[in-house]
Structure 1
Amino acid sequence: MATSLIETTRRYAVPILIGAAVAIAGILPWALIAPINARVRPDLPWAAVAMVAYLALYVAWLNGAGWPKRWREWRHESLRLWRPGPSIWTRAGLGPTLALLALLTMLYILWIALDGQRPPPDLSLYPTTAYRISIVLIGALVSGLVEEVAFRGYMQSRLERYGAGTAIVVTSLVFTLFHGVHGGAALLLLGPGLFIASALYGMLAYHTGSIVPGIVMHTLGDLSYTFFATLGGDARLLIAP
């Protein structure tokens, strides 16, 4: 009994830990260099340029490029960047995809409506227009790309051997808890919505066989939330005095 429990824990723990490591590897560089850019030449968004280059290498390696060669196929299969089946392009295949995208759109609209009544944020730590715009754009890109790569790619795809439903639920639980870095109060408030969003993204990745639709939707959704909820839809806030 104990051996069976240990083996079950190990089978689930390995994909979870790998996915978490992939997420940290994608998010940490931006968290480190973006604040430096605020102090060092904020008139030039060099951190954004560096991060885009890093993300290109990050995705290429996780998709199977580079060393070690013996892990190339494993990395490519784990990422499932783009391997949709032919049926996805049929009317029957496109229907669920469009339905999931519509549900995600409605969820973002609800989030914006519920959280868009806050006072304007203090942007004094964002000294230039170039820096502010780069933070908004790259922040959304990092969140949308890295979270899909790590959670719906590496984590969920490896857990799907134990069943798609189980994989989506486990990944969504981990994804929700991962956002606990914003604090316990925020987790309690946002947790249900994060779980639902993750489950929808998980179903989208499983149905389409690709994380690309999720990356696009996730990035655009986070960008919309930042602009309409955080900034209140006021583009003037992006212009530094």
Structure 2
Amino acid sequence: MASLVSSLAEEVSFRGYFQGILEQKVSGPIAIVIAALLISPGHSLTQGFVWPIVLWYFFSDVMFGAMAYLTKSILPSAVVHSIGLLIFFTLVWPYDAQRRLIWETGANTGFWITAAQAIIFT
């Protein structure tokens, strides 16, 4: 569920809305790069702010932006994004020793902040 919700939210807000507005002001490729430059550091807050990770997300965001730009739709990028996150959440996340599951460590402050945001903004 998280892979679907988070990818759709990102595609609608960044590729559908933000990048769409930028494309009216600057060329498509420039809009894609600007949007990716603003989105990719946000991923690093949860994945670690090291250059390989930042670059991975930057190029992923460029790819999603290019898909949206070339197809004039966020649907293809939303599908690919959802599948990528589904693979990540099922095959990578559970086996990453750095990530402790909530039932192993208990709910921390970050959990409660996220829970409150979900309740408030849903």
Does TM, scored on the shorter chain, surpass 0.5? yes
User: Which position in structure 1 is the counterpart of 2:28?
Assistant: 164
Aligned CA-pair RMSD: 1.7
User: Which position in structure 1 is the counterpart of 2:62?
Assistant: 199
Which residue, 136, 139, 142 being the options, matches 2:5?
142
Q: Which runs of 5+ in 2 are unaligned?
A: 96-102, 104-122
Please say if 1:181 is aligned against 2:45. Answer: yes
Which residue, 93, 98, 102 being the options, matches 1:230?
93
Please say if 1:152 is aligned against 2:15. Answer: yes
CA distance in 2, matches of 1:225, 1:182: 14
Give the letter aligned to residue 33 of structure 2.
V
**Largest Rg, 1 or 2:** 1
- Encode CA deviations 1:91-147: one digit per residue, 9 max, x unaligned: xxxxxxxxxxxxxxxxxxxxxxxxxxxxxxxxxxxxxxxxxxxxxxx2111221011
* TM-score calculated relative to the size of structure 2: 0.71
- 1:193 deviates by 0.3
Q: Which runs of 5+ in 1 are unaligned?
A: 1-137, 233-239
Divergent runs of 4+, >6 A = none
SS in structure 2 of the partner of residue 231 of structure 1? helix
* TM-score calculated relative to the size of structure 1: 0.37
SS in structure 1 of the partner of residue 49 of structure 2? helix
- 1:179 deviates by 2.1
**Percentage identity across aligned positions?**
33
